[in-house]
Amino acid sequence: MSTAKMRAFLAVARHGSFSAGARALGLSQPTLTTQVQSMERQYNLELFHRRGRRIELSDVGRQLLPIAQAMAALDLEAHNLLRDSGRLDSGELKLGAVGPFHVIEMVDNYRQQYPRIDVSIRVGNSAQVLADLESYVTDIAVLAGRNDDPGLCAVHYARHAIILFAHHEHPFAARGSVRLDELEGQPLLQREPGSTTRLVLEQALIAAQVFPRITMEIGSREALREAVARGIGLGVVSEAEYIPDPRIRAIRIDGDSLYTDTFMYCLTERRSSRLITSFLM
């Protein structure tokens, strides 16, 4: 099977149409369509179901997709190796992250050492960042929390305490810290399900049998900060993600027993990549 045909299949699958796939590869639509149809005729099957202007992957197409993605990643690794003769003089490194707080620091340090490597960052929620990594859209994912999937290789980056923050007129605002049990009955704003910060706090509250009053669920750090600044409730955030504002005050939880860990992840099968290794070191 030719690499060109596999690239054509992958482009259509990624972009959702033959025309968009052709543009991504810099080909004419008839050329790309011919490549895909040739592969379908060769094996007497359908890779896509055509439904008017829409296309959907067939069952065998869905099974082929991760194989095609792996082949594309290996092809890129081979290209980079041959082009650079083993030197990291050029190349592109694609990162995924749930927010800018750690990844910008990482990229700044990396670019000082490898200034000729082009680095891009794709931001999303935890599920999307992990899905991008597993589908070869990104090379490295920066996530809070440990994932023990054997298909992933994890490198620990940092640990940060979880802190509260409150409106500047809240009784807690004048204090440097509070006990966990003092959250009993307090109005608490929480992040969306899947948030590592939310999970750590929920587990600690359940273990301590402390029950705050959940006033709202908020899906972004920016909206959470604004809600706290308006006095709607207390917020919880990783210390590294706290942004000072004259309307709010940061408050530690006694003992700093609550924390989040930040990890860098890559696919285990790609851990030997020189480009990926250069970032994880």
CB 262 within 8 A of CB 157: yes
pLDDT in tens, 138-180: 999 999 888 889 899 999 999 889 999 999 999 999 998 999 9
What is the secondary structure of 31-91 as a DSSP string?
Answer: HHHHHHHHHHHHHTS-SEEEETTEEEE-HHHHHHHHHHHHHHHHHHHHHHHHHHTT--SSE
Domain positions in the chain are: 3-83, 89-157+262-280, 160-258
| pLDDT at res. 138 | 93
Q: pTM here?
A: 0.62
- Residue 36 has what pLDDT? 94
3-state class percentages of the chain: helix first, strand second, coil last, to nearest 5: 45, 25, 25
Predicted local confidence at residue 213, as pLDDT: 95
Judge contact between 142 and 106, C-beta under 8 A: yes
What CATH number is given for 3-83 in this structure? Answer: 1.10.10.10
CATH number of 89-157+262-280: 3.40.190.10
Give the pLDDT confidence score for residue 154 in this predicted structure.
95
Tell me which residue has tokens 């099974």. Answer: 63
pLDDT digit string (tens) for 190-229?
Answer: 988 878 888 889 999 999 999 999 999 998 888 999 999 9
pLDDT of residue 121: 95
Task: Name the amino acid, one letter, at 252.
Answer: R
Give residue 201's pLDDT. 92
Question: How much is the average pLDDT of 72-79?
Answer: 80
Domains 89-157+262-280 and 160-258 agree in fold: yes
Q: For the domain with range 160-258, which CATH number is right: 3.90.550.10, 3.10.20.740, 3.40.5.10, 3.40.190.10?
A: 3.40.190.10
pLDDT at 1 over 70: no
For the CA atoms of 49, 52, 54, 57, what is the dihedral angle to 10 degrees? 0
Provide the mean pLDDT of the chain.
Answer: 89
pLDDT at 84 over 70: no
End-to-end CA distance of the chain, in Å?
Answer: 37
